[in-house]
Structure formats: C-alpha cells, structure tokens
Amino acid sequence: MFSYSRFRSVYVHVVCSTSFPAIALLKDKEPGAFIIRDSHSFRGAYGLAMKVASPPPGVIQQSKKGDITNELVRHFLIETSPKGVKLKGCPNEPNFGCLSALVYQHSMMPLALPCKLVIPDRDPMDETKERASSSSSATDLLKQGAACNVLFINSVEMESLTGPQAIAKAITETLAADIPPSATIVHFKVSTQGITLTDNQRKLFFRRHYPIVTVTFCDVDPQDRKWTKSESGGAAKLFGFVARKQGSTTDNVCHLFAELDPDQPAAAIVNFVSRVMLGSSHKR
C-alpha cells in the first residue's frame, strides 16, 4: 500500500489509496505537515496535501460565517516528466530528480508553496493506528470492566436527593454520627452491567449489585473531606455513588467509600464510573 524513497535521510511517504482522508489526518497538525499520494485525476502524477497557517484571502471571504478548518489543508499537483517531478502551474519551480529531492528542497525553503514542508519524524499512519488502538482498548476496558479494593464506609438514605448534594449530605451525616461506622474492605467492580460490591470477609454482606440504570450519580466529596483510616491513621479521600433504593422508583441511597490503595485514587474510580454511566445513557 505504501512506497518509500530516500534522499539525504528524507523518507517520502506516498499513499497509494486515493480515498485516504488527507484532510482528517492533517487538519489538526502544525502548518507544513503534508501527505503525498497518487493522483486519481492525472495518471502518473502525485497529489500533495499540506497544512497551511491560513487559507487564501478569497477562501477567507467565502468562509467568514463557517468553519474554515478544512480550508487550511491545501492541495497541489506534482506532475512527472522525463526531467523529473515538478509542482504543476508554478513556472518558478525547478524540476527535481525525485520526490525526495522535491520534499527536501521545500523543507529548506517554501518556493511556490505557502510555507515550508515539515518532514515528520514518524509515519503519520502510525499515529492514526495508535489512536485507533487506544480508542479500541478503552472501549474493551469499558466492556470488561475494572475493579479494585476500597473502604466501604456507609449507606445513607437520601429520599429523592441525588447529585453532589447527596454525596455531601451523606458524608456530613456519617462524620457527625455519635458512633462512626467501621470501614470494611470491599471489592469494587465497575462494568457496563453496573457496580458490584463484594465483601470478601463477609463482615457486612456478601455481594451487592447495582445495575447501571439505577446509578444516578458518582463523584468525590465536593467539600474534599477525608476519612481517617483506623489501622494507619492516614487520611483517605471520600467518594460515593447514588443509586435507586431497591424496590423504589423515587427514593435514592448514597453509598460512601474511601480510598484504600494510593494507586487506585478516588478520582480515577469516579471517572471510570462516570464514563460507564455516560456510555450506558447513550444506548438508552
């Protein structure tokens, strides 16, 4: 699919597919980023797509009311002849012996181009593949779920209250209790199915599951209060989620937790729960 040629350590990446989304790949790049591909309209020629700092004045006037992002990717034709390759329609441009020579010279000075070409230090297709792979990995993680151990603190009935007010109120009531609850280590698992709590030592319960459709909110304490760990005396960030009370369509219960492992911070747990909730809401 791709061919390379070399000139003074310069590699030219020629994309043979005419349907390659040059604009999508270049519009977020710095001015001077470019792609060379086979021309569909002119047999044996090449198309040069490059990112520029600003579109031509005529395009600016036409696009005042719209998005000109796509106009920042300009297209040029590189024609071939027995003398070599040359930018078409540019009488001041010399002939170059090969594409690499043309690219190298235009990376030194723009000549007839709007700006100098910027030779990438890596294949732009690799970046696209990495982004796609990263997105795929994130999707797989959301499907498979993630889990860690946390400290279960308390569950407080909220009537119909939800949101950060529910988290704050539940923590206030818990910290103000005459006899504070004893924290219990539980396994906290989040997936597209919901949140599952497992008390491996069965001190309070064995397992509780909250379907994702019943979880209405999840966040850290908006007042940034801490829970003091009894065994170490250290302070741990508090967080919680609000879920529908079992058997009710209006009442909520706020379930409170504290960090157990510094490598599993509350913010990361809350962020993952929120992403799962967001993905679930899009499917409804």
148 strand-pairing partners: 188
Average pLDDT, whole number, for the chain? 80
- What's the confidence (pLDDT) of residue 106? 92
The mean per-residue pLDDT over the stretch 215-236 comes to 87
- What's the confidence (pLDDT) of residue 185? 93
| Higher per-residue pLDDT: 143 or 164 | 164
The mean per-residue pLDDT over the stretch 237-256 comes to 93
Closest CA to 114 of 179, 54, 190: 54
Asked if pLDDT for residue 283 goes beyond 80, the answer is no
Percent of the chain surpassing pLDDT 90: 40
Query: Rounded to an integer, what distance in angstroms lies between the CA atom of residue 259 and that of residue 267?
Result: 10
| Confidence band of 108 (pLDDT split at 50, 70, 90) | very high
Domains and CATH numbers, the chain: 4-55+67-108 (3.30.505.10), 139-281 (2.30.29.30)
The most confident of the ranges 3-7, 59-63, 190-194, 212-216 is: 212-216
- What's the confidence (pLDDT) of residue 3? 34
Q: Which two tokens stand for residue 218?
A: 């999840």
- What's the confidence (pLDDT) of residue 262? 81
CB 53 within 8 A of CB 115: yes
* Least confident piece of the model among 1-10, 109-118, 199-208: 1-10
Measured CA to CA in angstroms, residue 120 lies from 13, 25, 53, 129, 197 at distances of 10, 13, 17, 16, 49
Asked if pLDDT for residue 126 goes beyond 60, the answer is no
The mean per-residue pLDDT over the stretch 59-86 comes to 76
